[in-house]
Amino acid sequence: MSSNQSDLSNAHYGYDFVVAATQASINATMKEYLYNSVFPTVRMYWNQDAQGNPVAISQADLLKQTNGVDPLLVPSWNDSEPMTPDIENINQSDFYFAFEAAIGIPADMPAQNIPDIVTFQAASQSVIFNLICAQFTVVTCNFGRHGLTSFFSASQPADSPWLFTSIVALRQIIDNTNLPPDVQEQLNNLGPAAFSVQQLFFDLDNAALESTPTISGIQPGTPLYTLLSSVFLGAYFSAMKANAQPVLNYSILQNVPANDSSTLTLTKMELEVSPYTPVSPATDSFNTLNYLCEVNGGNLPPPVPFPWNWLEPGDQSNFDGVISINRNTFANYFKDQLAGAVANNCYKPWVRVWLSGFLDATVNYSWSMTPRQTPTVTVTDNGDNVLVFSYSGSAEDDAGLNGDMGKMSISTTYNATVTFSGSTIVITQNYLVAIYIRIMQSSESWNAINNTITDTYTLAIDQTGHLTASLNTVTKDNSDSTPSTNWFIELFTGLNDLVGDVADWAKDFEKTSFHSMPLNAAQRFVFPGGKTFAFNDVAFSDYQDMVSHITYTQPGLNCKPAQF
């Protein structure tokens, strides 16, 4: 099973739309983003208090203590050598340790050697996250009974980064209440960048961790490993785990323009991991990260597993994932778009019959129909017919004693169904206008208008995320032929003339008053995520969710070609 089994309207799910991106595509796109971007360097410094505990200090305040010496620029030293002036200045200060780092890919590292950034763990709904730095330098002071005994400085190799690997719970990416306000604001971004790899990296980089990061790329037991484990990880990452502070003060790159043109306004989002089934190490790359989305301030149901795969192995070379829109969400959008056109086709009849002339012997008839009536609208629970509009109206009047001189009635019935199937939206409208006329004892009744219009939209998507639609309209006329009385009855009543007048009115009314649905009802829709994804195709699932395959677009800055 794949995305054609998408059934978001099922009460077990209920999300307005879901964006599912594979582990393989997120890694490839995130590597490209890191490979082609230059991030600011972050420097952080700590002093040692009287009890030997690390205390953060600004660079400016530290440089006042060290006479302008930046410890990050000082090479290693031990007490077997004379103190240099820089070491003397550091020794006279309270400096303890510092680091300098910039996230990204080391300049000399071949693109094909970049490790995966994320690994999805469906069982625990968490992500194994590898923080990679383009550069990383760490320095620390070691003290004995009589003061500074050594100063250690180390930098990661230019072609082999140190990896800081930790486990991030997806729920904690969204639950960011411990973060500083400015970081919360960026994490709560639900605009055009909500689904971008930049935003995801920012989320992972700032989330509270389930585990203290481990280090790879350095031999355990070496002074460097001990330094990073006890000093950098021990002090910095443990504090981050407790307080959910940003790791390297990374901030997301906002897309330009910042406005979100998508039709569905995202107001709530949760994340979950879906494992590819059947589960196998060979198919881990097909596991998906699912963005569960709610629009317009509705309630977002809790994450639950999906029993279908969003992509199949044969799709991976062509697509990065899928976006699926709940049949009811799209049906409600379509209902709102069609409301005006449907109301224009809903008519309330009016009839008047009265007597005039000498001894009130002349019977008079007048009639009309008023548009823009309010139909009954039903969004169905299941099946291809997702929307049903219906309206009926009637009017009658008579003249004489108990209507013995004349009577007229008009009834209108309007029905429209909207069907989602394959790559088409089919709107079928039926108009029925039934007439009854009586003059004295002579009468006629017939369906003056019984017309069916079928509008079939064949859908596609352009690169801006807009639906495109080609329209084919078929009209079928099942109206009754105009009735005619025999000449003898007509001689006394004039019924034929009245029937003819009504029939002529009905023909003109049908030509000018009933309309096909406007094509732009479909074309107004813009898929969410258009700043992040290209939309490759569109079709309705077996449960009428609207589904499109997606690929990431423009993840990086100053791009250069790379093979991952």
Q: What is the pLDDT of residues 265-304, one digit of tens each?
A: 888 899 999 999 888 887 888 899 999 999 988 889 999 9
Tokens of 358: 């000498």
Looking at residue 61, what is its pLDDT? 96
Looking at residue 95, what is its pLDDT? 94
Q: Over the stretch 203-233, which tens digit does the pLDDT of each residue have?
A: 888 777 777 778 888 888 887 888 788 777 7
**Angle at Cα 216 formed by Cα 211 and Cα 218, nearest 5°?**
130
Q: Which pTM value belongs to this model? A: 0.86
Top pLDDT among 394 and 562 is at 394
How far apart are the C-alpha atoms of 59 and 70, rounded to whole Å?
8
Domain edges within the chain: 38-183+196-243, 329-459+469-523
Looking at residue 251, what is its pLDDT? 62
Looking at residue 261, what is its pLDDT? 76
How far apart are the C-alpha atoms of 545 and 6, rounded to whole Å?
6
Q: pLDDT tier at 257 (50, 70, 90 boundaries)?
A: very low
Q: What is the dihedral of CA 495, 497, 500, 504, to 10 degrees?
A: -140
Nearest to 111 by CA among 30, 42, 40, 38: 30
pLDDT at 483 over 70: yes
How far apart are the C-alpha atoms of 403 and 354, rounded to whole Å?
10
Q: pLDDT tier at 564 (50, 70, 90 boundaries)?
A: very low
What's the full length of the chain, in residues? 564
**Partners of 451 in the beta sheet?**
431, 477
Top pLDDT among 437 and 212 is at 437
pLDDT at 465 over 80: no
Looking at residue 418, what is its pLDDT? 95
Looking at residue 240, what is its pLDDT? 66
User: b/e map of 393-427 (b: 16 or more CB within 10 Å)?
Assistant: bebebbbeeeeebbbbbbbbbbbbbbbbeeebbbb
pLDDT at 60 over 50: yes
Instruction: For CA atoms 60, 63, 69, 71, give the dihedral sign.
Output: negative
Looking at residue 455, what is its pLDDT? 92
Looking at residue 242, what is its pLDDT? 66
Looking at residue 285, what is its pLDDT? 87
- Please report where in the chains the tokens 């009811």 appear, as a residue: 328
Mean pLDDT of 118-131: 89
**Amino acid at the residue 354:** W
How far apart are the C-alpha atoms of 59 and 63, rounded to whole Å?
6
pLDDT at 479 over 60: yes
> Within 10 Å of residue 488's Cβ, how many Cβ atoms?
8
> Within 10 Å of residue 190's Cβ, how many Cβ atoms?
18
**Amino acid at the residue 320:** D
User: In this prediction, what percent of the chain has a pLDDT beyond 90?
Assistant: 44
User: In this prediction, what percent of the chain has a pLDDT beyond 70?
Assistant: 90
How far apart are the C-alpha atoms of 182 and 365, rounded to whole Å?
74
pLDDT at 256 over 70: no
Separation in Å, CA 318 to CA 115, 313, 431:
22, 10, 46
Pick from 98-102, 158-162, 432-436 the range whose average pLDDT is largest: 432-436
Q: pLDDT tier at 15 (50, 70, 90 boundaries)?
A: very high
Nearest to 351 by CA among 393, 388, 292, 322: 393
Q: pLDDT tier at 493 (50, 70, 90 boundaries)?
A: low
Top pLDDT among 146 and 488 is at 146
Q: pLDDT tier at 2 (50, 70, 90 boundaries)?
A: confident
